[in-house]
Amino acid sequence: MVQTYPPTVSNALLLKKASARILTVSSFFGLASLAWGYNIGIMATIYVHPGFIKALQKPAKTETGLITSIYYLGTWLSYLFVAHPLADRFGRRVAAASGVLITSIGAAIQAGAGGPSGLAMMIIGRIVCGLGLAIVSTSVPLYQSEISPAKHRGRYVVINHIGLVTGLAVAFWVGYGVSHWETKRGNYYGWRMSMALQFIPEFFFLIGVFICPETPRWLVEHGCTEAARRSLGWFRGLEPSHTLVIKELKEIQQDVDQRRLATEQGWTVLFTNRPLFNRLWRAALLQFMAQMCGNTSMKYYLPSIFMSLGIERKLTLMIGGIESTLKIGCTIIDTWLVDRFGRRLTLVLSCLVMSIALLLNGALPMVYPNNVNHVSDYICILFIFIYTFGFSIGFGPAAWVYGSEIFPTNFRARGLNIAASGSSIGAIISSQTWPIGMNIIGSKTHFIFMSTNLVSAIIIWFFYPETSRRSLEDMEALFNPNFTPRTDLEREHDSYHDEEDDEEADATIPRVKGREP
């Protein structure tokens, strides 16, 4: 017997044609996420590049820590003041395109850094990149979430994180390749060229983004009902006049109408309205915990971590490339896990796996200091990979999936962006904690992040309701204790599943007339 899902129109039969369309468009938006991941990952390889070290006149750990953390000042400002107005007023596509364009400007500033003003140019470039990538990091999952059906929404939103980790992997392999360009010209141009390569996916994204339809929910919010019906019909693989399209559009319209009065009260209603605040604090805290788990440090300082274990620079970049490539596979696995076992369980398991990995990476260097035991060093490397697996099945994708699906339509962009500012605060703290901690207390720094993971697991298990397989309009039942179901939709029992799931479907589910064979 197939599990019973909430009886909503947005859970109706999804054609294979519709699945292919949603997958294709979601994957294309993953190009923007790839640029996001590349922009972050390439910094880890640049920090250990001799040409960069020379160009910035041998920056101290505090200066590289500043370059890392100042990026998150840009993301924090963008989340609060730029990203949500763009997504709400001009649409998810315009927001994503604007974010990519701003990011490319920041990357160009960094690629030209050098001399007495080199540090200042890097700082300015990182702030600009932070402004742009904050827009990308929220508009892409928003778009993917709003075009997806409830049952498999997780699999499409996770594509955002697949793009991110793919960008990280590409960056490490580019860094590894550039490390072999050891001539004088290579030292000068190598790291600059690796920074500039992100222009390639950004260029293709900017060319194709406006070919993709805008999300039906955003169109309804702005009174474009006919355009919303055409968009929804295209994403569901049905004619705009089809009964299921009309019913799902009606459901979206009702949700928007119910929220319109609250929207007119301003963004402060997210803090004053109890059901909305129940969503906001959970999404913000989840984003904060996702950064305090230690992954920010792993992304930026992974080659330095490996070098502290006695590994040569080129080999550290190659290992980093392997580690980042494995993240792609782990994240693809998570596209199944987040829908099969739910958001909450995968998040808790993620925290526990990362805690064990951090415990061993903190304890073994204390027992065997100064790389006196190579077996201990190899175990540390192994558990860095296990840490990667833990992050990639939980916090990596699920934090964005959860945040992008719990807010009502009118508040989705605004709520996700305010919540994502928690990510910036956590990243600033963790990116500063790592270099300073390693310099003062050494491997004991791992215990700080291990503790935050254990606390996060407890908080998630007891305070986060499961959102898997609920429609975006039905989240109200989870966060509003006074929720009253919409009576005109209660009798809709078009239970959602994909065609490939037909063999699992309950025989009692009625066939939909007019469905394509």
pLDDT at 190: 96
Task: Identify whether 221 is part of a domain.
Answer: yes
CA 210 to CA 193: how far, in whole Å?
29
Task: Identify whether 503 is part of a domain.
Answer: no
Task: For residue range 440-457, list pLDDT tens digits in order.
Answer: 898 899 999 999 999 999
* CATH number, residue 355: 1.20.1250.20
Task: Identify whether 473 is part of a domain.
Answer: yes
Task: Identify whether 513 is part of a domain.
Answer: no
Q: What is the CA radius of gyration of the chain?
A: 23
Instruction: Say how many C-beta atoms besides its own lie within 10 A of residue 174's C-beta.
Output: 22
Mean local confidence (pLDDT), 176-198: 94
Banded model confidence at residue 473, pLDDT cuts 50, 70, 90: low
Task: Identify whether 211 is part of a domain.
Answer: yes
Total domains present in the chain: 1
pLDDT at 492: 43
Mean pLDDT of the chain: 85
Task: For residue range 340-351, list pLDDT tens digits in order.
Answer: 888 888 899 999
pLDDT at 5: 41
Banded model confidence at residue 370, pLDDT cuts 50, 70, 90: confident
For residue 311, give its domain range. Answer: 9-481
Task: Identify whether 489 is part of a domain.
Answer: no
Write the DSSP string, 278-331: HHHHHHHHHHHHHHHTTHHHHHHHHHHHHHHTT--HHHHHHHHHHHHHHHHHHH
342 alpha carbon, distance to own chain's centre: 17
491 alpha carbon, distance to own chain's centre: 36
Report which secondary-structure segment, H or E, holds 250.
helix 243-264
Q: Tell me: pLDDT of 472 over 70.
A: no
pLDDT at 351: 95
Task: Identify whether 500 is part of a domain.
Answer: no
Q: Tell me: pLDDT of 157 over 90.
A: no
Could you identify the residue written with the tokens 């140019």?
Answer: 121
**Which of 137-146, 406-415, 508-517 comes out lowest in average pLDDT?**
508-517
Q: Tell me: pLDDT of 61 over 50.
A: yes
Task: Identify whether 170 is part of a domain.
Answer: yes
